[in-house]
Structure 1
Amino acid sequence: MTYKKAVKIKTPGGKEAELAPEKAWTLAPKGRKGVKIGLFKDPESGKYFRHKLPDDYPV
């Protein structure tokens, strides 16, 4: 399930790209506010990587 909202991120190749995450989830320890993580696919190499999403991103 690919999300529709694209996010401007830096790919592992070092380039700035605007990509939509293929998967998004919240990563949080018990009792604390967590961060939102997205799984992206690098358009050049085809490798998958994770990157932090903005706090207002819908998960």
Structure 2
Amino acid sequence: MSSKKSVKVKTPSGKEVELVPEKAWVLAPKGRKGVKIGLFKDPESGKYFRHKLPDDYPV
């Protein structure tokens, strides 16, 4: 499933924090190289948001 590797992301409130994604997946069009997306939870507001993950992140 998702590993416990933290990623530095910018939250919707504008702060940069290190968070662990709750879920990670690859988003790719047919026949093309995709990007890795992670689902994060903002620690302040509790809202969920998506952010691009590094290419070397294990999915």
- TM-score, normalised on structure 2? 0.95
Moved over 6 A (4+): none
Residue ranges of structure 2 left out of the alignment (5+ in a row): none
Aligned to 1:54: 54
Alignment partner of 1:24 is 2:24: yes
Contact kept? 1:21, 1:38, Cα under 8 Å: yes
SS at match of 1:9: strand
Higher relative contact order (CA 8 A, sep 6+): 2
TM-score (norm 1): 0.95
The answer as to 2:32 corresponding to 1:35 is no
CA positional deviation for 1:3: 3.3
Letter in 2 for 1:16: E
Equivalenced residues, count: 59
Percent identity over the alignment is 86
1:6-39 CA-partner distances (Å, limit 9, x unpaired): 0001000000100000000000001000000000
